[in-house]
Amino acid sequence: MTSRGAERRVVPNEVVVAERTLRPWIIRGERTLLSCPPFLDVSAHTVELPDGRLVDDFYQIAMPDYTCIFPELEDGRLLLLRSYRHGPRRICLTFPGGQVAGGEAPLDGAKRELLEETGLISDDWRSLGSFVTQANQRCQTAHLFRATHCRSVRLPESGDLEEQELVPMSRADALRAFRRGDFAILEHAALLALATSAELGPARD
């Protein structure tokens, strides 16, 4: 016997699949617990589940959205950054990127961050997708981009707290660095995978 709204069927490999109509949760209320602008806000949502139950303390974290850019130079090499990052507590490789300013479109933020952190500009941009970074607490949205035929127009002026080293490398060297564990942050590893996979990359017109 199945639950209401679900239909059970047996597929050839004998796995039982339950087909049901999925519904989103409804936010019935929100309490702010901590506010530290512009860095983060912590709140508790009261949510109503599809079966009618109420959950009063589904915690949420709100942080600014950000961009992450896969920059390809005119000679085909990539330009990465090596720096200490306090999240993973170590020196690692990252791609350029940073916070999207209030009222700024993600692509405009990506162009600004690429110029500030590397001194590069590009006329050829492709979105590789926008993804929420935490499944339950949300946190923020990461906007991933690929910029090709990048050229240098000035010295970097990032203004970041971290000391940064610009690291040009081939795609093959970047993939070897990934296998060595030189990437420590999820979205940067995901960007590398998206940009180097013909199956996962953006569709060509």
Structure tokens at 39: 């860095």
pTM to 2 decimal places: 0.86
Question: Which residues of the chain are under the pLDDT cut of 50?
Answer: 1-3, 205
97-99-104-105 Cα dihedral, nearest 10 degrees: 50
Q: Where in the chain are the domains?
A: 22-62, 66-196
26-39 residue pLDDT tens = 999 999 999 999 99
Structure tokens at 98: 């940073």
Structure tokens at 200: 């996962």
pLDDT of the residue at 145? 98
pLDDT of the residue at 160? 74
For 10-30, b/e burial (b = at least 16 CB within 10 A) is eeeeeeeeeeeeeeeeeeeee
In sign, the C-alpha dihedral spanning 154, 183, 77, 131 is negative
CATH number of this structure's domain 66-196: 3.90.79.10
